[in-house]
Amino acid sequence: MDDVFYKIITGNPEEVRRSLERFSVNQYGNKSKFEELNKENIRLDVWEALFRQLSDETYSSVHSQCLATLRILSRDKTNLDDIITKEKLNAVLKNAGLAEAGREQSNPDVAVTIEAQKLLCNLLFNSINVQKMIVDTTYLTHLIKRYSKHNESLPHEMKLFDIRILFLTTALNVPTRSVVRDTFLGDTYLIKMLQEISNRYETIPIKEDDVNLACEILKTLFNLYIQLDDLTHKAEEKFKRLVSILRRLTLSQCETKKEDLCSNIVNLLTVIPPKCYSLYMQPVQDDNCTDVYDNMDMSAVSVLLRFLDLRLEYKTDLIENLCPIVTCLIRLAKGERLMRKFMRLQILPPLKDVMKRPEEGTSIRAKLCQYLTSPITELRDLIAELLFIICKENVSRMIKYTGYGNAAGLFANKGLLGRQQPKTEYSSESDDSETEEYTKYKEQINPVTGCYEKPKPNPLEGMSEEQKEYEAMQLVGLVDKLTREGVVHPCTIGEDGKPKPIGHVLELQNELPKQ
């Protein structure tokens, strides 16, 4: 047995103190697995010793170190569900000030409280047993009571871990969401904290500590609203106030981690009812504002579009990094007509360069079009939906800006192939003025590729009718062979406007009269 663990189990207060210092300073502080504790049942003995010392006032000088050591040990899930009993969990809650006669009520020690909070976060994350047992405690009452006081004298780290505990609770235990939101009105207090942060930094960059706190609040609010039921008038007013706060945070400067803040704002916007988005834009109040549409300040929407442009450069974790911002923009575009029109001007400005394919280049339009043929279907369909919406769900306009080849998947999914376009609810007025460049080359633009192509010689020119018929039959034979081998699946367009596989290639000729 390592001497460090031996002294933790058997030592007097001074020996324990030195051993705990060695534990955190030496190689153990950065570890997440402790295989050496698997021998001779040492793991359970160490945990028991630390909790025993934690409840003994003789060891009060090392209580913070005991909790720090337990926090490090709790990274290892081995036997964690068996080790943590209800008594041990209550001891952690008590030291975190989240139980009756806890440290907040009796003898508060900030270092002990914070270490207990950190330990509780690890236990919630790594132990299913803890997630179940904690529901039967009153910790939620104490947790929400403490952060609802908004005591500025409360250390920042304590506030941060209170919200993190609430985030983990509502993420891992779905029934607690309605309890926190409806019974304790926890979301109201969180919104108030978010507003206080935005108020403090109206003219100066947000400090990193408060960016971290704001991100934890935003993540927790996301949990509370992800399964929202009916929207009452009172709730609608609350959401509009929240959207106004989110707008201010979107436009704020940060000392660091601005991207993290934007990411969490985007996530939260995706679960807010679209009818509450109106306050994400404001009447123009500054003559220097450059992001204006119809006398409305679209600066916050512009920040989201820059955030999208940034995320489009990512090459890994594409679903996690891109889907939330694309979903957010879809909801904003659907919810507010002016936002949709502004997005269209930014993403699909009037066409001037018709010599390049839509997916070529570094513009947002080009980057989005590159994903229209992505094998990641979830992302491909979301991006296609965004482009289709800002095209007012107009097939011809979508083809114009993306090319039929890129948009065919969307049209197939929606049943828009080869049929009359259904009516939409969009306004009838159109600002789809064609540029001189587009008008000049319009007749030479290939609708499949979406760009200009030089006139090509007719490959059938000079052939006799017999030669043409021979080449046609050769083509039929090749397509039939590919079909039988499963390489391709020729289709016709069904009555529902979606592709319908054919049994034999000659069935294609039945469609010629319709075309």
What is the rounded distance in angstroms from the CA atom of residue 437 to the CA atom of residue 355?
Answer: 10
- CATH architecture observed for domain 1-137: Alpha Horseshoe (1.25)
What is the rounded distance in angstroms from the CA atom of residue 232 to the CA atom of residue 229?
Answer: 9
- Cα separation values, 345 from 267, 432, 447, Å: 24, 10, 21
What is the rounded distance in angstroms from the CA atom of residue 391 to the CA atom of residue 426?
Answer: 10
Across the beta sheet with 296-297, the strand order is 282-283, 296-297, 292-293
Domain extent listing, the chain: 1-137, 138-258, 281-424+431-456, 465-511
Number of C-beta neighbours around residue 348 at 10 A: 22
pLDDT at 133: 92
pLDDT at 99: 86
Q: What is the pLDDT along the chain (515 residues), one digit of tens a residue?
A: 578 888 889 888 899 999 998 887 766 888 888 888 888 779 999 999 999 999 999 999 999 999 999 999 999 999 999 999 999 999 999 999 998 755 544 446 899 999 999 999 999 999 999 999 998 889 999 999 888 875 667 889 999 999 999 999 999 999 999 999 999 999 999 999 999 999 999 889 999 999 999 999 999 999 999 988 767 778 899 999 999 999 999 999 999 999 999 999 999 999 999 999 999 999 998 888 899 999 999 999 999 999 999 999 999 999 999 999 999 999 999 999 999 999 999 999 988 888 889 999 999 999 999 999 999 999 999 999 999 999 999 998 999 999 988 988 888 888 887 655 666 667 655 555 578 777 777 777 888 888 888 877 887 888 888 898 888 888 888 888 888 888 888 887 877 778 888 777 677 666 655 55
pLDDT at 511: 61
Instruction: Give which of 49, 41, 53, 61 is closest to 1, Cα–Cα.
Output: 41
* Residue 261 φ/ψ region, left for φ over 0, alpha for ψ in the -120 to 50 degree band, beta for the rest: alpha
pLDDT at 429: 53
- What amino acid is encoded at 377 in this protein? T
What is the rounded distance in angstroms from the CA atom of residue 307 to the CA atom of residue 267?
Answer: 13
